[in-house]
Amino acid sequence: MRIKSHKAIFWDLQGTLGGDATGDIKDFQFYPFTYEALKLASKKGYLNIILTNQSRIGAGKLTLKDYEEKVDALKRELTQNKVEVKEILCCPHTKQDHCSCKKPKTGLMDLCVNKYAIDISKSYVIGDMGKNEVVMAHHAGAKSILVLTGAGVGSLNEFRETWKDYEADYIADNVLEAVKSIE
């Protein structure tokens, strides 16, 4: 059995690291402070892992090919900016598919925990939707940070009911402030 010795930050993509929380990934652009946040996370010893729900694929509104081309472009952009990201994984399913990988379910996290020997108790989930990222962190045993970019303000206010039984460990203005707040 592998000793779980790594710690990770499981990042949401859209609305958290850039772009529109519910927009088309083809229009996604990183926020100006995202590279610095990801670099700081690495410097603090965290593996950067991006997990994204992409139900547009399952709904037939986005092809897997278009998604993969966009992710390849994002990976090139991260590499050009000297940012290390271990994985960018997506759930392509709709709610009706009842999969185990659509956030707030932990299927994609579990895959990474096993692959990289991650100690989940020393890891974080950072995202802009409490009903997805905060709830997923709670179910997995990780800490959670809700950021106020993207859908974060709405998630904290008019959509708070969707995750009323859960609390974020920390609330940050954006991902850079989130990473600055952790050890």
Summarised one tens digit per residue, pLDDT across range 6-50 is 999 999 999 999 999 999 999 999 999 999 999 999 999 999 999
For residues 60-71, average pLDDT: 95
Taking 60 as the threshold, does the pLDDT of residue 1 lie above it?
Answer: no
* In the chain, % of residues over pLDDT 90: 96
Determine if residue 101 is labeled as part of a ligand binding site.
Answer: yes
Q: What pLDDT does 29 receive?
A: 97
112 is in an annotated binding site: no
DSSP letters for the chain: -----BEEEEE--BTTTBS-TTS-GGG--B-TTHHHHHHHHHHTTEEEEEEEE-HHHHTTSS-HHHHHHHHHHHHHHHHHTT---SEEEEE---GGG--SSSTTS-HHHHHHHHHHTB-GGG-EEEES-IIIIIHHHHHHT-EEEEESTTTHHHHHTTTGGGGTT---SEEESSHHHHHHT--
Mean pLDDT in the chain?
96
Kindly state the percentage of the chain with pLDDT values over 70. 99
Q: Is 90 annotated as a binding residue?
A: no
Looking at residue 183, its pLDDT comes to: 83
Residues 138-152, mean pLDDT to the nearest whole number: 98
- Model confidence band, residue 5 (pLDDT cutoffs 50, 70, 90): confident
The pair of structure tokens assigned to 132 is 């997805």
Q: Is residue 12 a known part of a binding site?
A: yes
**Model pLDDT, residue 2:** 62
CATH number given to 7-180: 3.40.50.1000
**87-97 pLDDT tens trace:** 999 999 999 99
Q: What's the pLDDT score for residue 4?
A: 74
Q: Say whether pLDDT at 127 is over 70.
A: yes
Residue 93 assigned to a binding site: yes
List the chain domain ranges: 7-180
Look at residue 97 in the predicted model and tell me its pLDDT.
Answer: 94
pTM: 0.96
